[in-house]
A and B are shown apart, each in its own frame.
Chain A
Amino acid sequence: MKFGILVNEGPYTHQASDTAYHFTAAALKMGHEIVRVFFYHDGVNNGTRLGVPPQDDRNITTRWCALGEEYKLDMVLCVAAAQRRGLLDENEAKRAAKDTDNMAPGFNISGLGQLIDAGIQADRLMVFGD
């Protein structure tokens, strides 16, 4: 089956991102296809490479990165939501004259059309949020 994944909450505060990760990893392991993982609302915060969680805790961002790399996942942060919350890739950081970008490797910034497209392409769109 082809799944689209929508992650609507940020890391650590809410369970949603963890559950989305576990679902995605399990689906891939079982041979299902993931059309796209789309991060919206505070979900864009999953894509920051500047998070430094305690060593004895999971690192939600690097966990997504590793899964993304292993399965060549299309992991997209909504550009409007990302800009609001200070999630910038190299281009956006330059354009806004900020002193750094903060996007973790494997994440991309794109528009909301990518979310609609994931919904249309997938057999099931799974929404993870509150």
Chain B
Amino acid sequence: MSATKKLLYVNRKAPHGSIYALESLEVVLIGAAFEQDVSLAFIDDGVYQLMLNQDTSGIGVKNFSSTYKALGDYDINQIYVEKESLELRGLSKENLLPLTWEDEDDDWAEKDSIQVVSSKELTDIIEKQDVIFSF
């Protein structure tokens, strides 16, 4: 196996209406076993994937939003949400799932995984990646 690479998953679609969000999350979870430097970005309608209090009972499909909360346990704690995408949809960080991770180097302190970043900041983050999975 080569040296560690920086992997970024870019999530652009709403959680329901198409299967991209669900199948993207499957890649993220499988990919966690490869011990790479993983981060996730949520842009455009992709920010809806992290909404609090999702209820899919009306459309008869699985509500997988609670799976995002497991990301911290997979050592995936660099989660970027684009500020402009939130604002355009009248959302703020308070509307999102509280995603956290435990920092073993800091006495297992619980820390926030989500960072709201501007489009410009996200561009810089994307620039630094080795591999980008866009869904």
Q: Which residues of A contact B (CB under 8 A)?
A: 6, 8, 40-41, 80-81, 111-113, 115-117, 119-122, 125, 127, 129
Contact = CB atoms under 8 A, between A and B. Distances in A.
Contacts, number: 50
B134 A127 contact: yes
B21 to A, nearest CB: 11
B34 A120 contact: yes
Given A41-B19, A119-B7, A127 B2 contact: no
Question: Which of B7, B19, B131 has most A Cβ within 10 Å?
Answer: B131
Nearest to A122: B131
User: Interface range on chain B: under 10, 10 to 19, 20 to 34, or 35 or more?
Assistant: 10 to 19
Contact of B133 (A80, A111, A113, A119): A119
Interface in B84-135: 131-135
B30 A119 contact: no
The 7 closest A-B pairs by CB, nearest first: A119-B131, A112-B30, A116-B31, A127-B134, A125-B131, A116-B34, A112-B27
Nearest to A84: B19
